[in-house]
Amino acid sequence: MKLQVPAILLALMVAPAQARSFRQEQLRYPRVRAAYAQKADWMIARLAEKGLKREEIHILLRAFKKERVLELWVKKPDQDRYIHLQDYAFCSTSGVLGPKRRQGDWQIPEGYYHIDRFNPWSRFHLSLGINYPNPLDRIRKTAPDPGGDIFIHGSCVTVGCIPLTDDKIRELYIFAVEARSNGQERIPVHIFPLRMSAENMKNLEMESADRPDLIAFWKNLQTGYDYFRENRKISRVRVSRQGEYIYHRQ
Protein backbone atom coordinates (compact mmCIF):
# COMPACT_ATOMS: atom_id res chain seq x y z
CA MET A 1 0.00 0.00 0.00
CA LYS A 2 1.32 3.40 -0.92
CA LEU A 3 1.36 5.67 2.11
CA GLN A 4 0.48 9.34 1.65
CA VAL A 5 0.20 12.09 4.23
CA PRO A 6 -0.86 15.13 2.21
CA ALA A 7 -2.63 16.91 5.07
CA ILE A 8 0.39 16.54 7.31
CA LEU A 9 2.85 17.64 4.64
CA LEU A 10 0.74 20.68 3.86
CA ALA A 11 0.65 21.62 7.53
CA LEU A 12 4.42 21.26 7.79
CA MET A 13 4.84 24.00 5.20
CA VAL A 14 3.27 26.55 7.58
CA ALA A 15 4.04 25.01 10.99
CA PRO A 16 6.35 26.78 13.45
CA ALA A 17 9.97 25.70 13.26
CA GLN A 18 9.76 23.81 16.58
CA ALA A 19 6.79 21.77 15.37
CA ARG A 20 8.42 21.05 12.01
CA SER A 21 11.55 19.79 13.73
CA PHE A 22 9.97 17.17 16.01
CA ARG A 23 7.19 16.04 13.70
CA GLN A 24 9.51 15.82 10.71
CA GLU A 25 11.94 13.76 12.75
CA GLN A 26 9.15 11.32 13.63
CA LEU A 27 7.87 11.18 10.05
CA ARG A 28 11.21 9.75 8.97
CA TYR A 29 10.04 6.41 10.36
CA PRO A 30 7.74 4.16 8.29
CA ARG A 31 5.46 3.19 11.18
CA VAL A 32 4.87 6.83 12.09
CA ARG A 33 4.12 7.73 8.48
CA ALA A 34 1.68 4.80 8.35
CA ALA A 35 0.04 5.95 11.58
CA TYR A 36 -0.49 9.45 10.18
CA ALA A 37 -1.75 8.10 6.87
CA GLN A 38 -4.33 5.94 8.66
CA LYS A 39 -5.29 8.13 11.61
CA ALA A 40 -4.64 11.83 10.89
CA ASP A 41 -8.06 12.54 9.36
CA TRP A 42 -9.79 10.80 12.28
CA MET A 43 -7.68 12.75 14.80
CA ILE A 44 -8.50 16.08 13.16
CA ALA A 45 -12.23 15.27 13.08
CA ARG A 46 -12.26 14.02 16.68
CA LEU A 47 -10.59 17.20 17.93
CA ALA A 48 -12.95 19.35 15.88
CA GLU A 49 -15.86 17.84 17.85
CA LYS A 50 -14.34 19.54 20.91
CA GLY A 51 -13.58 22.79 19.09
CA LEU A 52 -9.85 22.06 18.95
CA LYS A 53 -7.16 21.82 16.28
CA ARG A 54 -4.18 19.50 16.32
CA GLU A 55 -1.84 22.52 16.16
CA GLU A 56 -3.08 23.72 19.56
CA ILE A 57 -3.28 20.69 21.84
CA HIS A 58 -1.48 19.47 24.92
CA ILE A 59 -2.48 16.09 26.33
CA LEU A 60 -2.77 14.15 29.58
CA LEU A 61 -2.97 10.36 29.99
CA ARG A 62 -4.71 8.71 32.96
CA ALA A 63 -4.58 4.93 33.42
CA PHE A 64 -6.73 2.74 35.68
CA LYS A 65 -5.38 -0.75 36.25
CA LYS A 66 -8.48 -2.52 37.58
CA GLU A 67 -10.72 -1.12 34.84
CA ARG A 68 -7.95 -1.63 32.25
CA VAL A 69 -8.59 1.76 30.69
CA LEU A 70 -6.25 4.51 29.49
CA GLU A 71 -7.92 7.92 29.19
CA LEU A 72 -6.77 10.66 26.79
CA TRP A 73 -7.45 14.25 27.86
CA VAL A 74 -6.68 17.38 25.84
CA LYS A 75 -6.46 21.14 26.35
CA LYS A 76 -5.01 24.23 24.73
CA PRO A 77 -1.52 25.17 25.96
CA ASP A 78 -2.75 28.45 27.45
CA GLN A 79 -5.59 26.81 29.38
CA ASP A 80 -5.59 24.85 32.64
CA ARG A 81 -8.66 22.63 32.33
CA TYR A 82 -8.54 19.39 30.38
CA ILE A 83 -11.32 17.93 28.23
CA HIS A 84 -11.88 14.18 28.08
CA LEU A 85 -11.39 13.03 24.49
CA GLN A 86 -10.96 9.25 24.23
CA ASP A 87 -10.66 5.95 26.14
CA TYR A 88 -8.32 3.12 25.17
CA ALA A 89 -8.70 -0.38 26.59
CA PHE A 90 -5.66 -2.27 27.82
CA CYS A 91 -5.59 -5.35 25.60
CA SER A 92 -3.60 -7.33 28.19
CA THR A 93 -2.33 -6.81 31.73
CA SER A 94 0.03 -8.24 34.32
CA GLY A 95 0.61 -8.07 38.05
CA VAL A 96 -1.89 -6.97 40.70
CA LEU A 97 -3.11 -3.72 42.21
CA GLY A 98 -0.26 -1.88 43.89
CA PRO A 99 2.88 -0.02 42.79
CA LYS A 100 5.96 -1.43 41.11
CA ARG A 101 8.83 -1.70 43.59
CA ARG A 102 11.45 -3.99 42.01
CA GLN A 103 12.74 -5.48 38.79
CA GLY A 104 10.87 -8.60 37.68
CA ASP A 105 7.67 -8.17 39.70
CA TRP A 106 5.56 -7.74 36.51
CA GLN A 107 3.80 -4.81 38.12
CA ILE A 108 2.42 -1.86 36.18
CA PRO A 109 3.62 1.18 38.17
CA GLU A 110 1.28 3.49 40.03
CA GLY A 111 1.92 7.18 40.50
CA TYR A 112 2.64 10.40 38.64
CA TYR A 113 4.86 10.13 35.58
CA HIS A 114 5.49 11.66 32.17
CA ILE A 115 6.43 10.49 28.69
CA ASP A 116 10.22 10.59 28.35
CA ARG A 117 10.77 8.65 25.09
CA PHE A 118 9.18 8.22 21.69
CA ASN A 119 10.12 4.88 20.13
CA PRO A 120 9.02 4.59 16.48
CA TRP A 121 11.03 1.38 15.94
CA SER A 122 9.75 -0.50 18.99
CA ARG A 123 9.57 -4.30 19.09
CA PHE A 124 5.95 -3.63 20.07
CA HIS A 125 5.05 -1.60 16.97
CA LEU A 126 5.13 1.93 18.48
CA SER A 127 5.81 2.86 22.07
CA LEU A 128 5.86 5.80 24.47
CA GLY A 129 8.27 5.51 27.38
CA ILE A 130 7.24 6.38 30.94
CA ASN A 131 9.83 7.86 33.32
CA TYR A 132 9.64 4.97 35.79
CA PRO A 133 11.28 4.86 38.28
CA ASN A 134 10.43 8.37 39.40
CA PRO A 135 11.95 9.86 42.59
CA LEU A 136 9.28 8.30 44.82
CA ASP A 137 9.83 4.87 43.27
CA ARG A 138 13.55 5.13 43.98
CA ILE A 139 12.87 5.92 47.63
CA ARG A 140 10.25 3.16 48.02
CA LYS A 141 11.99 0.40 46.05
CA THR A 142 12.22 -2.99 47.79
CA ALA A 143 15.29 -4.26 45.90
CA PRO A 144 18.52 -2.67 44.67
CA ASP A 145 17.09 -2.57 41.14
CA PRO A 146 13.58 -1.07 40.93
CA GLY A 147 13.30 -2.04 37.27
CA GLY A 148 12.68 0.18 34.28
CA ASP A 149 11.71 0.36 30.60
CA ILE A 150 7.99 0.83 31.20
CA PHE A 151 6.08 1.78 28.05
CA ILE A 152 2.66 2.33 26.60
CA HIS A 153 2.95 0.23 23.46
CA GLY A 154 1.27 -1.94 20.84
CA SER A 155 1.39 -5.69 20.17
CA CYS A 156 -0.93 -6.70 23.04
CA VAL A 157 1.70 -8.29 25.31
CA THR A 158 3.03 -7.06 28.64
CA VAL A 159 5.15 -7.81 31.69
CA GLY A 160 4.48 -4.52 33.47
CA CYS A 161 3.72 -2.10 30.63
CA ILE A 162 0.40 -0.73 29.34
CA PRO A 163 -0.39 -2.56 26.08
CA LEU A 164 -2.83 -1.40 23.41
CA THR A 165 -3.68 -2.89 20.05
CA ASP A 166 -1.50 -1.73 17.16
CA ASP A 167 -4.47 0.17 15.77
CA LYS A 168 -4.96 2.15 18.99
CA ILE A 169 -1.29 2.85 19.66
CA ARG A 170 -1.18 4.50 16.22
CA GLU A 171 -3.89 6.91 17.34
CA LEU A 172 -2.32 7.65 20.68
CA TYR A 173 1.18 7.96 19.28
CA ILE A 174 0.27 10.68 16.78
CA PHE A 175 -1.63 12.60 19.48
CA ALA A 176 1.57 12.52 21.53
CA VAL A 177 3.68 13.62 18.53
CA GLU A 178 1.34 16.56 17.96
CA ALA A 179 1.45 17.57 21.64
CA ARG A 180 5.25 17.40 21.68
CA SER A 181 5.37 19.36 18.45
CA ASN A 182 3.20 22.01 20.09
CA GLY A 183 5.81 22.54 22.79
CA GLN A 184 4.63 20.12 25.49
CA GLU A 185 7.98 18.96 26.82
CA ARG A 186 6.44 16.64 29.43
CA ILE A 187 3.24 14.75 28.69
CA PRO A 188 1.79 13.72 32.09
CA VAL A 189 0.88 10.08 32.68
CA HIS A 190 -1.07 9.38 35.88
CA ILE A 191 -1.48 5.71 36.78
CA PHE A 192 -3.97 4.64 39.47
CA PRO A 193 -4.91 1.22 40.85
CA LEU A 194 -8.57 1.92 39.99
CA ARG A 195 -11.06 4.77 39.74
CA MET A 196 -10.71 6.21 43.22
CA SER A 197 -14.34 6.88 44.13
CA ALA A 198 -15.29 6.79 47.82
CA GLU A 199 -16.94 3.38 47.37
CA ASN A 200 -14.02 1.91 45.43
CA MET A 201 -11.53 3.17 48.00
CA LYS A 202 -13.58 1.72 50.86
CA ASN A 203 -13.59 -1.67 49.16
CA LEU A 204 -9.89 -1.42 48.36
CA GLU A 205 -9.06 -0.62 51.98
CA MET A 206 -11.10 -3.61 53.17
CA GLU A 207 -9.41 -5.94 50.70
CA SER A 208 -5.94 -4.67 51.71
CA ALA A 209 -6.51 -4.28 55.45
CA ASP A 210 -3.31 -6.23 56.14
CA ARG A 211 -1.26 -3.75 54.06
CA PRO A 212 -1.38 -0.36 55.81
CA ASP A 213 1.60 0.74 53.72
CA LEU A 214 -0.41 0.22 50.53
CA ILE A 215 -3.45 1.99 51.92
CA ALA A 216 -1.34 4.99 52.91
CA PHE A 217 0.23 5.08 49.43
CA TRP A 218 -3.17 4.94 47.72
CA LYS A 219 -4.61 7.68 49.96
CA ASN A 220 -1.64 9.83 49.01
CA LEU A 221 -2.38 9.18 45.32
CA GLN A 222 -6.06 9.94 45.90
CA THR A 223 -5.31 13.56 46.80
CA GLY A 224 -4.20 14.30 43.25
CA TYR A 225 -6.98 12.15 41.80
CA ASP A 226 -9.66 14.07 43.71
CA TYR A 227 -8.25 17.45 42.75
CA PHE A 228 -8.41 16.55 39.08
CA ARG A 229 -11.90 15.08 39.42
CA GLU A 230 -13.16 18.30 40.97
CA ASN A 231 -11.28 20.80 38.78
CA ARG A 232 -10.14 19.07 35.58
CA LYS A 233 -6.73 20.55 36.37
CA ILE A 234 -3.59 18.75 37.50
CA SER A 235 -1.48 19.62 40.51
CA ARG A 236 2.22 20.17 40.31
CA VAL A 237 3.74 17.27 42.22
CA ARG A 238 7.01 16.81 44.02
CA VAL A 239 8.29 14.02 46.26
CA SER A 240 9.17 14.39 49.94
CA ARG A 241 12.24 12.81 51.50
CA GLN A 242 9.90 10.29 53.14
CA GLY A 243 8.63 9.12 49.74
CA GLU A 244 5.25 10.83 49.57
CA TYR A 245 3.71 12.99 46.87
CA ILE A 246 3.32 16.66 47.80
CA TYR A 247 0.80 18.62 45.76
CA HIS A 248 0.95 22.26 44.71
CA ARG A 249 -2.49 23.17 43.43
CA GLN A 250 -2.87 25.65 40.61
- Which tens digit of pLDDT belongs to each residue from 119-174? 999 999 999 999 999 999 999 999 999 999 999 999 988 888 999 999 999 999 99
Query: Are the C-beta atoms of residues 216 and 142 closer than 8 Å to each other?
Result: no
* Active-site choice (58, 125, 153, 190): 153
Q: Return d(Cα 148, Cα 26) in angstroms, integer.
A: 24
Q: Which residues lie closer than 8 Å to 196 by C-beta, 6 or more apart?
A: 218, 221, 222, 225, 226
* Active-site choice (58, 91, 125, 161): 161
Residue 55 gets which letter from DSSP? G
Assess whether 161 carries a catalytic annotation: yes
Assess whether 156 carries a catalytic annotation: no
Please report the pLDDT score of residue 146 as a whole number. Answer: 96
pLDDT over 90 percentage in the chain = 86
The phi-psi region of residue 149 (left if phi > 0; otherwise alpha if psi is between -120 and 50; otherwise beta) is left
Residue 10 has pLDDT above 60, yes or no: no
151, exposed or middle or buried, with CB in 10 Å at 0-12, 13-18, 19+?
Answer: buried
Residue 90 has pLDDT above 60, yes or no: yes
Q: What is the mean predicted confidence (pLDDT) over 25-44?
A: 97
Residue 9 has pLDDT above 80, yes or no: no
* Predicted confidence band of residue 1 (pLDDT cuts 50, 70, 90): very low
Please report the pLDDT score of residue 7 as a whole number. Answer: 52
Q: How many helices (H) and strands (E) does the chain have?
A: 7, 10
Tens digit of pLDDT for each residue in 36-68? 999 999 999 999 999 999 999 999 999 999 999
Tens digit of pLDDT for each residue in 159-211? 889 999 999 999 999 999 999 999 999 999 999 999 999 999 999 999 999 99
* Predicted confidence band of residue 19 (pLDDT cuts 50, 70, 90): low
